[in-house]
Amino acid sequence: MTNADEGGFGGQAAEGELPRHEAPDPRGQMHRKKRLMPDADTREFLRAQNVAHVGTVDAKGWPYVVPLIYIYEGNDYLYLHTGNHHGHFLQNIQRNPRVCVEVGAMGPVHRGHPFACNSALVFTSVIAFGPVRIITDRDKKSWFFDQVLAKYGEPSWTFEPGYPLLDRIILYEQQIEMVTGKHSEGLYH
């Protein structure tokens, strides 16, 4: 068993790994600057998408990513929810509330020549970093579900008023500390 099998965070590189060095915070850094989206476009893309992939880290250092629906209205807060059970996501954020949220959309693949590896993908993605906190306020939970129905539901749907099962969900509020968007036009960039 290698150090990586044990969690990989013992300070030494496991067999086949490169040694770790102290480096500046890589969040928000982009290698291909021309793909960096303007902030307004980044936030609009984040608002418009349907599924967020939310990354946390468990007590042994293992990453955990879960797809969740979300509400983002263009400010510095993003809202997510899970069921009210003591699952992997909740355990991770209770230990470390820092999360990474990713939303993305894939376009076509542009065929490259003369080799397949010259091909390029059209895509857009947004990454948001920041801590989450649990919101217990019933009015905020009701607001969240009103927004969920407006975003994901059908206009013709009707329901009895109220949300009697609010205690069965956990509402999370991410305070966005850093958000970046990236867009590739494929071969035409």
CATH number of the domain bearing residue 58: 2.30.110.10
Q: Is 83 part of a structural domain of the chain? A: yes
Task: Give buried/exposed letters for 43-53 (b at 16+ CB in 10 A, else e).
Answer: bebbbebeebe
3-26, pLDDT tens digit by residue? 444 444 444 555 666 666 677 777
Q: Is 16 part of a structural domain of the chain? A: no
89-147, pLDDT tens digit by residue? 999 999 999 999 999 999 888 888 899 888 888 899 999 999 999 999 999 999 999 99
Residue 31: what pLDDT? 66
Overall number of domains in the chain: 1
User: What's the length of the chain?
Assistant: 189
- CA 30/CA 18 separation, integer angstroms: 21
Average pLDDT, the chain: 88
Q: Is 28 part of a structural domain of the chain? A: no
172-182, pLDDT tens digit by residue? 999 999 999 99
Q: Is 140 part of a structural domain of the chain? A: yes
Per the structure, the complete domain to which residue 116 belongs is given by: 33-153+167-188
Q: Is 24 part of a structural domain of the chain? A: no
